[in-house]
Structure 1
Amino acid sequence: MVDRKDIGSWLTGPDTSGISKYPGERLGLPESGPGSIARAGRRLIAIIIDWGIALLISNFAFAGDSWATLGIFAAEQILLVGTLGYSIGHRVAGIHVVRLGGGAPGPLAGLVRALLLCLVVPAVIFDPDHRGLHDKAMNTVLVRM
């Protein structure tokens, strides 16, 4: 016979034992300050700045061609994130990309992250730690400086 223990109770609510208190806790990152997960506001500022730079260059060099803008944006992401760990927008927003466990992302991570970021969808699908598919693919995380 089935009893209450077998089916549980909606009164107790969902099991929250596996949910972290803040983004990055499961990754061993601090809740706030340097090294904590970059929140949506900083990310949005960074991408607006990076896209604006690409748009300006595209307008002057390629008469505003949308594919040229996307290519310039991708090139900036590949070169700067792959070598320095941050783009111009990231730097202004005070965030940078690191591998989980520390260290620079490297050229391959810059390339893969940029390509997936240009597809948009992988960047807007993210986990509770605010890591998009482009970060999960390369085992990177965007943190505050």
Structure 2
Amino acid sequence: MSCRAVRRLQATLGRRGTFLLIIGVGKTCWGVSFLVNPPRPDGLQLLTRVCSLHHWSWLWIGAGLITAGSAFLRVGRDGYGFYAALLPPSVWATAYLAAAVSGEYSRGAFVALWYLTSHVGVILWAATVPEHSVPPAPRRRKGKGP
């Protein structure tokens, strides 16, 4: 029963939807972690001048919920999920880059590059993945040899 439900969910979501759901849940969890146990704001002075990380966590949570919700939309309408997924890591990368340039956080350039490649780059790549499925593997017939 559960395997059938998983297959049905996978068929409903498709490749792009599955990606959006996974990344949306991840962003939401990351945002909740800022609420539960905020990290040190090293390198995020650009953001913390505006408001606390507790408040910035809602950017991650909101973007995560929009991203996860967009997983259930048809291809072509799921673009909002990709835009929402791009917003928080782009903001964080900008803050870390600004901290590196200003000299406030020496590791900022590396962290910004990490956000730009492992988050922004992956999301931009996934947004270009066409929604099609690979044909299923041929099934073995009963009574026939390998």
- TM-score norm. by structure 1 comes to 0.28
- Structure having the higher strand fraction is 1
- TM-score norm. by structure 2 comes to 0.28
- Structure having the higher helix fraction is 2
